Amino acid sequence: MNSPFILVIFGATGDLTARKLMPAIYRLVKAGEITQEPFIIGVGRRDITKSQFHSMMEESVRHAVKEDFDTALWKKIVAGIDYQMGLFEDAAVYNRLVTKLEAFDAKLKACVPRFFYLATPPEHYEVILKHLDGSKLAEGCGQGTTNYTKVLIEKPFGKDLETARTLDKLLASIFEERQIYRIDHYLGKETVQNLLAFRFANGIFEPTWNRNFIDHVQITLSEETGVGKRGAFYDGVGALRDVVQNHMLQMLAVTAMDQPVAFDATSIRDMRVKAMQTIELIGPEDVGKNVVRGQYEGYTGESHVDAASQTETYVALKVMLASERWKGVPFYLRTGKKLGKKVSEISLHYKKPIVCTGDLCLFPEPKVLRNVLAVRIEPNEGIVLRVMVKQPGLGMLDLTASMMHFTYREAFGNKENPDAYERLLLDSIRGDQTLFARTDEIETSWKLVTPLLDGCKNTQTPVYIYKHGAIGPREADALIEKDKRSWFLI
């Protein structure tokens, strides 16, 4: 990327900027993906100087990139970083930004593309967007359609269907869809993308990727940590909104989608949304049968969490898809905090082969396990295939399950995969929207999750307590075991 650009980060003293955005920018410059040092303005309410902001950012980048830190390069990058103190609600902040951006355009004698990154809790989106509009910052310097501005907006996008629609309406009144980049960082993960390459570039998998061969699908996203300092935010959100509405439904869509005609934004997003639209709604009458909510022991004692909170920190659910490809194949989803390990995994469980004809069996039937194709998104990214093999020896009937592994580390050495935020930032700079959620994806996901939320509230489904380090409440096991299946992790 050779052309200059301006990145304005709202929420520049926050966790996301420190842990993800600034290290991503540093790595992109270091890798030569951004050849021109960017001009960045961090906006935050802390009364700190530019040089204090620089020190904060340096510490974060050093911490993230460790021995890869290059002092000379950082000096070049930091020369283009500014800090703008002020409240998001204050119009004067935006007027000062106008002055700074105009001065930058004048210095470069160009209409420099502007990126506005809303790295803030969602309650600030509306006020920031209205001020971007009111101050005309959203219009850029108004040089027609090629030099337009872009807005990057973090999840969660709304709290339910109604609030998501309101936010989308506001966005659409200020920006065109091609200028809006709704971030779901799971879509930027290397392994999620590799799932598509794996399916469509290998002749042996895609033909079996359907109800004729697959018995069921599981998607797990478990975290080891609790809510930490984000108690106030999380308590009003819960796992259904925080993770299922976005990351889990996107992983489901990527797994279930049909083959796109090309790897471009329109084709891929069309296929993702089509897959999501086939998910059958779980109405209030079915919530008890298909959804299990849990809360980790001690959650209500976390700071800024209501002592009587019924917010779920865990959820497991079973969904069915009405498509030709997946009719009759359950998708089991589970996610939670303070679980035994941090892992994200998608697994496809194949139907068992027919080994018996009447009373005659080729192998003792219970010994034949399902083949499983598991895609490990993190950690130890890779793909594993469970196959049945004969144990060495003279007997023919001694079967055992064995794992065939592909790991990124073994295949490509210790080179780390780019962080999702590196890819997403670069794609937004290049104008590639493939890995960003489109308005109809957001709408569809909330159409699915809002009745679930209402159903849980209206039917008062219990929130089962689970211990730290468990893999969820026991009731979640019952959800899958009543179908004679069990949870699986590599």
Give me the half-sphere count of Cα atoms (radius 13 Å) on the Cβ side of residue 90: 12
**Alpha-carbon dihedral of residues 282, 285, 288, 292, nearest 10 degrees?**
20
Query: Which is closer to ligand NAP, CB of 167 or CB of 399?
Result: 167
Residue 129 CA to residue 137 CA, distance in Å, equals 10
Positions marked active-site: 247
Query: Which is closer to ligand NAP, CB of 83 or CB of 299?
Result: 83
* Min separation Cβ 59 and ligand NAP, Å: 14
Q: Which two tokens stand for residue 255?
A: 């797994």
Query: Which is closer to ligand NAP, CB of 121 or CB of 288?
Result: 121
Other CB atoms within 10 Å distance of the CB of residue 342: 12
Residue 439 CA to residue 443 CA, distance in Å, equals 6
Query: Which is closer to ligand NAP, CB of 10 or CB of 326?
Result: 10
3-state DSSP assignment of residue 335: strand
Residue 61 CA to residue 74 CA, distance in Å, equals 9
Q: No. of H helices and E strands in the chain?
A: 17, 17
* Min separation Cβ 428 and ligand NAP, Å: 15
Rounded to 5°, the CA angle 31-147-438 comes to 75
Query: Which is closer to ligand NAP, CB of 227 or CB of 275?
Result: 227
3-state DSSP assignment of residue 355: coil
Residue type, 358: G
* Min separation Cβ 398 and ligand NAP, Å: 48
Which DSSP letter does residue 242 get? I
3-state DSSP assignment of residue 23: helix
* Min separation Cβ 440 and ligand NAP, Å: 21
Query: Which is closer to ligand NAP, CB of 46 or CB of 178?
Result: 46
End-to-end CA distance of the chain: 39
- Per the CB < 8 A criterion, the answer to whether 34 and 28 are in contact is yes
* Min separation Cβ 190 and ligand NAP, Å: 17
* Min separation Cβ 261 and ligand NAP, Å: 31
Q: Where are the beta strands (DSSP E) in 129-230?
A: 150-153, 180-182, 214-222
Residue nearest to ligand NAP (CB): 14
Q: Which two tokens stand for residue 353?
A: 């082969």
Q: Which residues bind ligand NAP (CB under 6 A)?
A: 11-16, 19-20, 44-46, 87-89, 119-122, 124, 154-155, 185
